[in-house]
Amino acid sequence: MQNLWLSLSALGDSRWLLPMALVLLLTLPRTDSDLKGRWLSTVAVAAGVTLASKLAFMGWGIGISRLHFTGFSGHAALSSVVYPLVGVLLAGPGRPARAIGLMTGVLLAIAIAWSRIPLHAHSLSEVIAGLMLGLGCSAYVLRGALPARRPTAVTATAAVLAGLILPLTLPDIQTHQLVIALAKLISGKAEIFQHP
């Protein structure tokens, strides 16, 4: 079971998700400019809020101890702002197909978010908060705009390859370590606050 959780968790790694989403965003046709703008802004919001919450806790100990909340789960937030949209994009223009694509993306995001609990990477409150943030962002994007057409096979392949570049070429660089270094830098502290 541990291997399943690790595999699901890997699908929520920002080193994979952000390049993949960026390729899909950049290759959307001009007719989807509203969708592009909404999606790009919500990915930035989800990533920014997640980073700010982690820095607040690591740098200054700001969290909710009785809920074991030390920041939004980045895997939950980013998965749920990316995969539902990817599901809709890949499903094509038909309404039933889009509904299936959306539900597939949402279920995958929930599974990725849940994987963080048995791996002891996040508490339930952090996972739920991340999911609420990401799914709220996805709902905002999809309420305002739907894609005109699905990406080509070449575009989808390029997105997958872009997502694989960082994890495969730089496997030792972990975003969590970068966040720790940033928290130390901006807080001026030699050690970060950690889970109780």
Give the residue extent of every domain in the chain: 2-187
Q: What is the pLDDT of residue 11?
A: 94
Tell me, what's the pLDDT at 18? 92
Tell me the average confidence (pLDDT) per consecutive run of 10 residues in the chain, 196 residues long.
Answer: 92 93 90 92 97 96 94 97 95 90 97 97 97 97 84 88 83 84 91 80
pLDDT score, position 196: 61
CA torsion sign for 6, 102, 163, 127 is: negative
Q: How many CB atoms lie within 10 A of CB 82?
A: 30
Token pair in block for residue 158: 């390029």
Angle formed by the axes of helices 95-115 and 124-144, nearest 10°:
160
pLDDT of residue 8: 95
Return the pLDDT at 7.
94
* Among the listed residues 77, 68, 61, 89, the one whose alpha carbon sits nearest the alpha carbon of residue 14: 77
Position 83 scores a pLDDT of 97
Question: Angle CA(44)–CA(26)–CA(36) in degrees, nearest 5?
Answer: 55
Cα→Cα distances 138→78, 131, 143, 196, Å:
10, 10, 9, 32
Its pTM stands at 0.92
Q: Which amino acid is at 66?
A: R
| pLDDT given for residue 22 in this prediction | 92
Query: In this structure, which amino acid lies at residue 25?
Result: L
What DSSP character marks residue 30? G
Residues 6+ apart with CB under 8 A from 4: 115
